[in-house]
Amino acid sequence: MTRKSGESLEEITDRIREMLSDMKYGSITLVVQDGKVIQLEKNEKVRLR
């Protein structure tokens, strides 16, 4: 998920919350450039039993 131009920190936080809300196992990585979040990466794991 690439950051849109002009996206505020509040909008980025909302996107992270949304990503977390439907994830059971995994990680979210924030890519920062020049002190600004430019990309969010979601890596979700599915546990099989």
> Averaged in consecutive runs of 10 residues, what is the pLDDT profile of the chain (49 residues)?
69 96 95 94 92
What's the pLDDT score for residue 47? 86
Amino acid at 38: I
| Total Cβ atoms within 10 A of residue 19 | 16
Report which residue type is found at 45.
K
Specify the pLDDT at position 1.
57
Spatial contact of 29 and 44, defined as CB atoms under 8 Å apart:
no
The radius of gyration of the chain from alpha carbons, rounded to an integer in Å, stands at 12
The phi and psi torsions of 17 (rounded to 5 degrees) equal -60, -40
Alpha helices in the chain (DSSP H): 9-21
